[in-house]
A = this chain, B = another copy of it.
Amino acid sequence: MHIEEEMRLIAKQAKVASQSIGLLSTEKKNEVLNQAADALIAETSFLMEENKKDLDKATQNGLTAALIDRLTLDEKRIEAMAIGLREIAQLEDPVGKLISKKVLENKLELTKVAVPLGVIFMIYESRPNVTADASALCLKSGNATILRGGKEALHSNIAIATVLKKSFVNSGLHEHTLQLITVTDYEAVNELLKCEHDINLVIPRGGRSLIEAVTSQSRIPVVKHDKGLCHTYVDAKADLKMAEAIVLNAKTQRPGVCNAMETLLIHQDLKDSFVPQIVKSLQAKGVEVRGDQTIVQAGSDVVEAEDHDWEAEYLDLILSIKVVADIDEAIAHIREFGSGHSEAIVTDDAAAAEKFIQEVDASGVFHNTSTRFNDGGQFGMGAEIGISTDKIHARGPMGIDELTSYKFIVRGTGQIRS
């Protein structure tokens, strides 16, 4: 079969499967997820064998130790995947949730209830555990799933999807509940992006070039999980001890993730107090500091920031720092360079905090706390499919509620419109 036909078939099969998945009871879905968790544990050695093929290839291709670590599946990580599935089984079922109910003047009863989206196509470059997480989140929200993971994790992803699919089918689910694209040719993705009649949502989660490729080709609605170019602004009236703790947390607690800080903005009144102190503390934590002239003068070993630094999502122990004249300059800088992900202000000035909260347009705006909290788990939403950088449909952490749509149900007794 040609790629074109094969992909169209996959989309059509998913659409058919979605009709029965959307009607599954909560109990059934939870039972299926718990059984799939058991299956992952039972197949630990198979999963590790298949993962080894990816690891061997990664070693041959000279991938960094950090990337190889991300790719590795061991017993502990497989158990973590299984626990993830069981946690998703514990979440409240979003399907059928009553959103609103009212009786209209003409006595029509109007209810708005959550329904599954239908078919979700997720494209990701992340660790193999996303294969299990995404499958489970889509199933719990009543959707059929098409997954396309990163090439470097192909064997691991196939192994995880195979174990899950077998378990789903053993539990009586439709055989096309979950489909993993194994064709690595990017043409396969482009074909699927044309199947707007069968696929309801595309979720690309990854780097700039992936997002760009998907948005330029897709006829299907896309919710982007794009980069996080997050700022922290330390205002003139900040508690400097608090500011230091927040800055260090936002940059160093886990630098490789999208809600980590990439640029620090500091009010000019703090150039002789906070600036030299924070540069030293960051460097002590192994952070490479790049900055404007004031920052270069304030510390040793500070690299002068170039234009591209203000646009950089380092995802690493590197930070660009800029001194600003006031809060307006901070907000203007964020408007120009921010990616609408997570933005923080540290200040004891309530008016400044409110101004920042109002005027900064991002999925999460943080006052006197770390951007690292922009996370579905931290927000009490349960597991998340990722952090949406879009403003349409879902913004910020995207959990199972955000994998649903709604319908209006109108119950009457013969009312007609006049």
Interface set of A (CB-CB < 8 Å, partner B): 19, 22-23, 102, 104, 108, 110, 115, 117-118, 196, 200-201, 215-216, 219, 221-223, 239, 242, 245-246, 248-249, 253, 335, 353, 357-359, 361-370, 372-374, 378-380, 390-393, 395-397, 405-418
Contacts and interface: CB of A to CB of B under 8 A. Distances in A.
Nearest to A379: B110
**Nearest 3 A-B pairs (CB), nearest first?**
A369-B412, A249-B416, A391-B405
A373 B108 contact: yes
B410 A364 contact: yes
B215 A410 contact: no
B200 A391 contact: yes
B372 A417 contact: yes
Contacts of A364: 407-410
A314 to B, nearest CB: 18
A51 B245 CA distance: 64
A219 B215 CA distance: 5
Given A200-B391, A392-B117, A395-B407, A369 B253 contact: no
Nearest to A196: B215
A343 to B, nearest CB: 10
The winner among A108, A110, A117, A196 for most chain B CB atoms within 10 A is A108
Given A335-B19, A379-B104, A412-B366, A417 B253 contact: yes
A361 B118 contact: yes
Copies of this chain in the oligomer: 2
A108 B373 CA distance: 10
A10 B137 CA distance: 40
A372 B412 CA distance: 13
A369 B416 contact: yes
A358 B24 CA distance: 11
Nearest to A253: B417
Contact of A108 (B23, B369, B418): B369
Contacts of A248: 416
Contacts of A108: 369, 373
A394 B117 CA distance: 12
B200 A365 contact: no
A128 B369 CA distance: 49
B408 A379 contact: yes
B358 A391 contact: no
A298 to B, nearest CB: 24
Contacts of A367: 409-412
Nearest to A118: B391
A408 B365 contact: yes
A215 B219 CA distance: 5
Contacts of A353: 411
A411 B171 CA distance: 45
B368 A413 contact: yes
Contacts of A219: 215-216
Contacts of A362: 407
Given A253-B416, A365-B409, A391-B405, 6 more contacts: A108-B369, A221-B222, A357-B409, A368-B411, A392-B392, A395-B406
B395 A405 contact: yes
A248 B417 CA distance: 10
A29 to B, nearest CB: 15
A417 B249 contact: yes
A19 B374 CA distance: 24
19 contacts: A19-B335, A108-B369, A201-B391, A242-B413, A246-B416, A253-B418, A361-B407, A363-B407, A364-B408, A364-B409, A365-B407, A365-B410, A367-B409, A367-B411, A368-B413, A369-B414, A370-B416, A373-B412, A373-B415
A255 to B, nearest CB: 13
A414 B246 CA distance: 7
Nearest to A248: B416
A372 B405 contact: no
Nearest to A357: B409
A104 B357 CA distance: 19
A235 to B, nearest CB: 14
